Amino acid sequence: MGNRFLLSELAAKIGAVLQGADAEVDGIAAIEEALPGQITFLSNPKYARHARGTKASAVIAKEPVPDAGCAFLLAPNPYHAFACALELIHPPERPPAGVSPLASVHPGASVGRDVSIGPFCVLEEGAFLGDRVALLAGVYVGKGASVGEDSLLYPRVTLYHGVSVGKRAILHAGCVIGSDGFGFAPSEKGYRKILQVGTVEIDDDVEIGANTTVDRAALGVTRIGRGTKLDNLIQVGHNVGIGKDTVIAAQTGISGSCRIGDRVMIGGQVGLAGHLEVGDGVMLGAKAGVAHSVSAKESPAWSGIPAVPHKTWLRMAMLLPSIPELFRRVKRLEEGKSEKEEGSR
């Protein structure tokens, strides 16, 4: 159970209007699973029928659903109102401030006020944590690496030397920031490693998923912009720049030196070749293989391998299963033609 609120109270806090009977609630659940005493939400009006069957005390929605037996919390952006309600009913728990005696903190590291450092964390020389940063168990903060205030790092996050993470970041378990970029010079005696002497800078309000990897620049900086969200198991190559408020789904790979704009949306398992630009606001469909720079001006969305405008891809993908039939039709045409030709001789 979460915190208890009157619906009227909750409405005021999340910027919604209560329509229906006031009641106490202390939980939140999916519309088909919610029970009395809980609220739920309806972000897509096409599922309005679910509101009629729900047992929830109230539904957060844009418009009331006729004939539904529950109250409504009406909000212009129901999903956003739901996000606010969640934080009120289930406020996120932060580990208490304090440094575990089982952590290894170099005397030359510096930490702000009210930080939380879990067991088996390591802060190397020159590492810096802002106020209220929380590191769960086994986090590694390399030499001179820094984490901005209020950031939360889950177990076993690894920050290589010198990288910087902004404020209010959330880094999930096992992600690796600042590993060497993949750079080798071929020579007669095999490949010679190109030292990767650059770094990584992650701006404020970024979230990075579990086991995602972000390589440090060869020279210069790999950058992730403010408010950008990366899902799990993503690869970000060296010298990549990602803009603000961009979202990238799981298992996508971004090759070295790509420039990704602001408010870009990238689906899962997308791959981008090196040194290309993805313009502001572009959408890349899941599994796309992007081989050249793309902009929203040319097409708002891109799909396919190699990626083409999404509409082109849709038309073509729909017809691909009919290719064998097309071959037969062409063959028939050729035979018809040759029959005539033969007939005309």
**Looking at the annotation, which residues are catalytic?**
238
Q: How far is the CB of 280 from its own copies (least distance, A)?
A: 14
**Binding of residue 260 to its own copies (CB under 8 A):** no
Name which of residues 45 to 64 contact its own copies (CB under 8 A). Answer: none
* Binding residue (CB under 8 A) for its own copies from 60, 61, 71, 136: 136
* Least distance CB 69 / its own copies (angstroms): 21
**Shortest CB 66 distance to its own copies, Å:** 25
From the list 8-16, 58-66, 108-116, 331-339, the region that binds its own copies by CB under 8 A is 331-339
CA dist 222 and 238 (Å) reads 6
Question: Which of 220, 218, 212, 215 has the alpha carbon at shortest distance from 193?
Answer: 218
Using rule CB under 8 A, residue 261 touches its own copies: no
| Helical (H) or strand (E) element with 322 | none
Please say whether the beta carbons of 23 and 29 come within 8 A: no
Question: Which residue in the block uniquely carries the two structure tokens 């999404």?
Answer: 310
Region near its own copies per CB under 8 A, out of 8-16, 55-63, 109-117, 241-249: 241-249
Q: How far is the CB of 181 from its own copies (least distance, A)?
A: 9
CB atoms within 10 A of CB 155: 17
- Per the CB < 8 A criterion, the answer to whether 254 and 222 are in contact is no
The residue among 22 and 276 lying less far from its own copies, judged by its C-beta, is 276
Return contacts of 22-25, CB within 8 angstroms, 24+ apart. 22/71, 23/57, 23/58, 23/71, 25/57, 25/58, 25/89
Closest separation in Å from C-beta 263 to its own copies: 9
Q: Which residues pair with 221 in a beta bridge?
A: 199
Residue 24 is a binding residue for its own copies (CB under 8 A): no
CB 213, min distance to its own copies, A: 4
Residue 284 is a binding residue for its own copies (CB under 8 A): no
For residues 130 and 100, what is the distance between their CA atoms, to the nearest angstrom? 17
Q: Which of these segments, 48-56, 62-70, 294-302, 328-336, binds its own copies (CB under 8 A)?
A: 328-336
Q: Does 21 bind its own copies (CB under 8 A)?
A: no
Query: Is residue 292 at the binding interface for its own copies, with CB under 8 A as the rule?
Result: no
Phi, psi of 303 (to 5 degrees): -150, 165
Per CB under 8 A, 35 contacts its own copies: no
**88 phi/psi in degrees, rounded to 5:** -75, -45
Q: Is 296 in the site for its own copies (CB under 8 A)?
A: no
Q: How far apart are CA 41 and CA 19, in angstroms?
A: 14
Nearer to its own copies, 128 or 182 (CB): 182
By C-beta, is 19 or 211 nearer to its own copies?
Answer: 211
For its own copies, which residue of 54, 57, 199, 213 counts as binding (CB under 8 A)? 213
293 binding its own copies? (CB under 8 A): no
The answer to whether the CB of 275 falls within 8 A of the CB of 259 is no
Q: Are 88 and 13 in contact (CB under 8 A)?
A: yes
Q: What's the order of all strands across the beta sheet hosting 221-224?
A: 110-111, 128-129, 146-147, 164-165, 199-202, 221-224, 241-242, 259-260, 277-278
Q: Is 324 in the site for its own copies (CB under 8 A)?
A: yes
Rounded CA separation 127/100 (Å): 17
Per-residue string for binding with its own copies, 169-208, x by CB under 8 A? Answer: -x-xxx-x--xx-x-xxxx--xxxxxx-x-------x-x-
Q: Which of residues 70-129 bind its own copies (CB under 8 A)?
A: 77, 79-80, 82-84, 86-87, 90, 92, 100, 102, 104, 118-120, 122
What is the nearest approach in angstroms of its own copies to the Cβ of residue 63? Answer: 18
